[in-house]
Amino acid sequence: MKFDLSSIPTNATVTSASLQMYAFWKNGTNGFPFSIYKISKAWNENYTTWTAYDQGSNWNNGGGDYGTKVASFSSPGGYDVPKWDNFDMKNAVQGAVANPSTNHGWIFVDDGNDGHGYYTSQYTNATQRPKLTVTYSTPVETRHRLHEKADNTGMLAAAVRGATAILSWKPQGAANISVSRADGRVVMERRLSGETSCSIDNLSPGIYFTRMNGTDRNTEVRFTVTR
């Protein structure tokens, strides 16, 4: 069984993943335990059988080749069929999303010599085919960018990324550069010696002033850290 998860970003955090399968037959006395494993190689749905995973290519093991166990269940409901069975696949889906190149789907392996019958994606009634419902969140990247050039010459600029300020300037003669908060507290001061940029990390929220003083320039840029 395989679901297309390519629309979910690889850096997403899966908050829930519910697999629903419609059971039409069960037989056994051991509580219907089974495990789900990652299939270890790509397979072609049009040609896959018990012995083959593609046209002219056979599994190493009958039924399919698999590796890591991703879940274990005891099928709920006993002999109460037909009915929907629901399985928590959160961890399995998280692994598949984070590593799409190794997502070849899952195989169900009976652990108790019981029997299960579930409709597949080929069943004529589409409403009773397997369903995977996934909810997820993605990291929110907050960016702030502010340029305010006191002399309108473009000699000095400040770009803010979260709690980091990146200062850049044109190489033009000797100069000193300093950064201070609105209350006058200096957080950085240095003599320029050929470099054209620097960064200041872990700034707390507030208004800052960057000043450049030299033989051929006196300019100031204000920037705001909000994070």
What is the rounded end-to-end Cα distance, in angstroms, of the chain? 44
Q: Are residues 45 and 127 in the same domain?
A: yes
224 and 207 Cβ atoms separated by less than 8 Å: yes
Per the domain annotation, does 89 fall within a domain?
yes
Domain count, the chain: 2
User: What is the residue type of 65?
Assistant: D
Q: Are residues 212 and 103 in the same domain?
A: no
Per the domain annotation, does 148 fall within a domain?
no
Q: What is the pLDDT of residue 131?
A: 92
The separation between CA 207 and the C-alpha centre of its own chain, rounded to angstroms, equals 34
Q: Are residues 103 and 24 in the same domain?
A: yes
Q: What is the pLDDT of residue 94?
A: 92
Of 121, 107, 145, 123, nearest to 221 (Cα)?
A: 145
Considering the entire predicted model, what is its pTM?
Answer: 0.57
Q: Are residues 183 and 85 in the same domain?
A: no
d(CA 167, CA 210): 8
Q: What is the pLDDT of residue 152?
A: 46
Q: Are residues 182 and 110 in the same domain?
A: no
Q: Which domain does 111 fall in, by range?
A: 13-137
Q: What is the pLDDT of residue 125?
A: 92
Identify the domain boundary among 137, 166, 194. 137
- Dig out the tokens for 86 from the structure: 């629901």
Q: Are residues 133 and 165 in the same domain?
A: no
Per the domain annotation, does 43 fall within a domain?
yes
Q: What is the pLDDT of residue 182?
A: 84
Q: Omega of the bond prior to 82 within 30 degrees of 0, cis?
A: yes
- Residue 102, SS3? helix
The CA dihedral of 73, 79, 83, 85, to the nearest 10 degrees, is 0
Q: Given the structure tokens 């000043």, which residue do they identify?
A: 211
Residues in Cβ contact with 52 at an 8 Å cutoff, skipping those fewer than 6 apart = 58, 59
Splitting the chain (227 residues) into consecutive groups of 10 residues, what average pLDDT does each group show? 88 90 76 83 90 92 89 67 86 91 87 77 90 84 40 65 80 76 87 80 86 72 76
Q: Are residues 20 and 120 in the same domain?
A: yes
Q: Are residues 36 and 122 in the same domain?
A: yes
